[in-house]
Amino acid sequence: MSREQTSKEQWAEVEAYVVDRLLPSDAVLDAARADSDAAGLPRIEVSPPHAKLLHLLARSVGARAILEIGTLGGYSTIWLARALPEDGRLVTLEYAEAHAEVARGNLARAGLDKVAQVRVGAALDSLPKLVEEGAGPFDLVFVDADKVNSPRYVEWALKLTRPGSLIVVDNVVRGGAVTDGSGADASVRGTRETYDLVAEHPRLDATAIQTVGGKGWDGMLIARVTG
Please state, in angstroms and rounded to a whole number, the distance separating the CA atoms of residues 226 and 128: 22
* Rounded alpha-carbon distances, angstroms, from residue 179 to 141, 157, 188, 193: 25, 25, 9, 12
Domain limits of the chain?
3-225
Which CATH number applies to 3-225?
A: 3.40.50.150
pLDDT tens digits for 138-187?
999 999 999 999 999 999 999 999 999 999 999 999 999 999 999 899 99
pTM: 0.96
Q: What is the mean pLDDT of the chain?
A: 96
Contact 67, 142 (CB under 8 A): yes
Please state, in angstroms and rounded to a whole number, the distance separating the CA atoms of residues 175 and 154: 22
